[in-house]
Amino acid sequence: MAGSVAEVPRFLLNRAYRPEAVAEPSGDAAGFHVRLPGWRETPVRKLDGAAAELGLDGVALKDESDRLGLPAFKVLGASWAVERALREAPDTRTLVAASAGNHGRAVAHVAAMLGLGCRIFVPARAAPDRRAAIEGEGAELIVVDGDYEDAVRLATEAGEEPGALALADVGASGPAHWVIDGYHTLFAEAAAQAGFDALVVPAGVGSFAAAAARYGALAGKAVIAVEPHYAACVTASLAAGGPTVVPTPGTRMAGMDCAEISPAAWPSLRDGILGTVTVTDDEAVAAMRELATLGHAIGDCGAAPLAALRALMTEPGGEELRAAAGLDRPSARVLLVATEGVTDPAGYAAAVG
């Protein structure tokens, strides 16, 4: 089922919201993560100026610009999925993945740590700096003449070769589920660092948002997912009541340039996401610039939650979702998750200066 870009709403309140039906998050990954070389918690930054301007008691930013030496959170899911997958396929010699950049680099990084080969498939519009970063981890890079979904298809096929193992963060496979489990570490960590009533997180294929939904359901926190207006597959799927494919003409928020959601993520998204906000590339850039003036170097996807919160708190169309999330109260506190730092230096410099 294909949707039209014009049909995507700016704000969506999920009418099927049933947090009591969301599966409990798995905490198995946390003990594994803290034993990894170089482990440390990522910081939470206070955005007091934004809080005062938006009439909130607090706005904080979980800064994932340096997680285990990589400029994005993705290594949490990739490392745990590899750990689980190798228990079942110990003869694996090569890890395979599709990526717009961050997931592929994370898989390549883990492969290098373990002395395994790695092959990463990226869509043709992947930024040169992101391609170079994947190759810098020692992976074989394959540029696909197509979009992200084409890269996923080819990576899945390559993962069926003898000695190869596909590490997808999208799909219905075991690794897709383990990636979601791996992301729970971030939310448990954040909860110990800061008090908040609502989470605003980037969506993409939905794996990270599903992890947020599981945490939110367990802890009684509202979860709002953020998407590019031109790749709003979660918004379209929630509106339709089932997984929905959307056109993706392109967005600079490369990590969320996704036409369809992950089957592994869908049940948690359907039941545990309170609502969504879509943002434009220009709004993401404005948020990047705002964060840069505060000394925080955050990339497009990581800055999108701040852009979404500004829209939600200031535009009339956001009133219903704002009230449902409890953000119409002056005592409300919000945690934004900045999922990436500068993963495309050239693009960041052009946008921020």
- In degrees rounded to 5, what are phi and psi of residue 253? -80, 75
Over the stretch 275-315, which tens digit does the pLDDT of each residue have? 999 999 999 999 999 999 999 999 999 999 999 999 999 99
Tell me the per-residue pLDDT of 144-171, one tens digit each, with 9 for 90 and over.
999 999 999 999 999 999 999 999 888 8
SS3 category, 1: coil
Q: Which residues contact 267 (CB under 8 A, 6 or more apart)?
A: 22, 23
Region 228-246 average pLDDT? 97
Q: Which residues contact 274 (CB under 8 A, 6 or more apart)?
A: 13, 14, 17, 216, 222, 223, 224, 321, 324, 325
Write down the pLDDT at residue 101. Answer: 83
Give the CA distances from residue 262 to residues 156, 189, 319, in Å, rounded to whole numbers and listed in that order. 14, 25, 29
Classify residue 140 by its DSSP letter: E
**CATH 3.40.50.1100, the chain: domain bounds:** 5-72+176-352, 75-172
Q: Which of 80, 112, 106 lies closest to 94 in space, CA to CA?
A: 112
**Residue 109 Cα distances to 128, 137, 140, angstroms:** 18, 6, 12
The whole-number pLDDT of residue 282 equals 98
- CATH fold, domain 75-172, is Rossmann fold (3.40.50)
The whole-angstrom separation of Cα 27 and Cα 17 is 23
Residues above pLDDT 90, as percent of the chain:
94
- Cβ(280)–Cβ(216) under 8 Å? no
For residue 112, count other CB atoms closer than 10 A to its CB.
Answer: 16
**Residue range 318-332: mean pLDDT, rounded:** 97
pLDDT tops 60 at residue 117: yes
**Average pLDDT of the chain?**
95
Q: What is the pLDDT of residues 81-111, one digit of tens each?
A: 999 999 999 999 999 999 988 999 999 999 9
Confidence of residue 6 (pLDDT cuts 50, 70, 90): very low
SS3 category, 141: strand
224 vs 5, more confident: 224
Instruction: In whole angstroms, give the CA distance from residue 231 to residue 290.
Output: 23
Query: Nearest CA to 270 among 28, 15, 8, 44?
Result: 15
User: How far is the C-alpha of 58 from the C-alpha of 344, rounded, in Å?
Assistant: 30
Residue 5 has pLDDT above 60, yes or no: no
CATH 3.30.1490.20 is held by the domain 5-72+176-352 = no
pLDDT at residue 118 above 90?
yes
pLDDT of 3 > 60? The answer is: no
Chain segment 12-51, per-residue pLDDT in tens: 999 999 999 999 999 999 999 999 999 999 999 999 999 9
